[in-house]
Amino acid sequence: MGLAQYAVISVRDRWGVLHDGNVEGDFATKESAFESAIAAASLAIRQGHEVHVSVPGRDAGNRTALGAKDTAGL
The answer to whether the beta carbons of residues 33 and 17 sit under 8 Å apart is yes
H runs (alpha helix) in the chain: 30-46
- Taking only the tens place, the pLDDT of each residue in 25-48 is 999 999 999 999 999 999 999 999
Q: Where are the domains of the chain?
A: 3-57
Q: How far apart are the first and last CA of the chain?
A: 49
The one-letter amino acid at 31: E
The answer to whether the beta carbons of residues 67 and 37 sit under 8 Å apart is no
Q: What's the pTM value of the predicted model, to 2 decimals?
A: 0.81
Band (pLDDT 50/70/90 cuts) for residue 8 is very high
